[in-house]
Amino acid sequence: MRPLTEEETKTMFEKLSKYIGENIKLLVDRPDGTYCFRLHNDRVYYMSEKILKLATNISRDKLMSVGTCFGKFTKTKKFRLHITALDFLAPYAKFKVWVKPGAEQSFLYGNHVLKSGLGRITENTMQYQGVVVYSMADVPLGFGVAAKTTQECRRVDPMSIVVFHQADVGEFIRNEDALT
């Protein structure tokens, strides 16, 4: 485990800012304690200082996970968000998409959101903007990337993709062994 380098921090923040914009500040500077990002096994974990100090008792090869995994760095040094980060992305999300109850399951099985399943969408959403996907009951289901702007969404036919799937809570079951 080690702190992120300048470059890694930048890569991660750039990815996070696609979903929560300048709200990253709220993750970095929290009133309820000191929280930090740490890299372990190419994965970024977000944890409190207290947890970090406790985790130092565990040897590096034995440590599976600590705090919340935000995502991982690929071999080409890109950052991929994991579904585990949803708890921290959802409250601060700037752009949201609500899916109809009928399309919920399809999304949770890893499919893209079609126009027919689109319930609501935040105004002013740009193309390729990172969005958090909610059910109509305001339960966060995952996140993705807007395939169309809000304007275009109104015009496209019902079977066209509106939100590209990136991660959903169904992964907790589907991908249980890989998630940490």
Q: Using an 8 Å Cβ cutoff, are 41 and 1 in contact? A: no
Of 69, 65, 16, the closest CA to residue 46 belongs to 69
103-132: which residues touch other proteins (CB under 8 A)?
123-124, 126-127
Look at residue 20 and give its three-state secondary structure: helix
Could you give the C-alpha distances from 55 to 29, 52, 64, 84, in angstroms and in order? 21, 5, 10, 19
Judged by CB, which is closer to other proteins: 37, or 134? 37
The span from the CA of 162 to the CA of 50, in Å, is 42
Site pattern 5..44 for other proteins (x: CB under 8 A): xx--xx--xx--x----x-xx--xx----x-x-x------
> With respect to other proteins, which residue has the nearer C-beta, 74 or 127?
127
- Site residues (vs other proteins, CB under 8 A): 1-3, 5-6, 9-10, 13-14, 17, 22, 24-25, 28-29, 34, 36, 38, 49, 52-53, 56, 123-124, 126-127, 149-152, 155
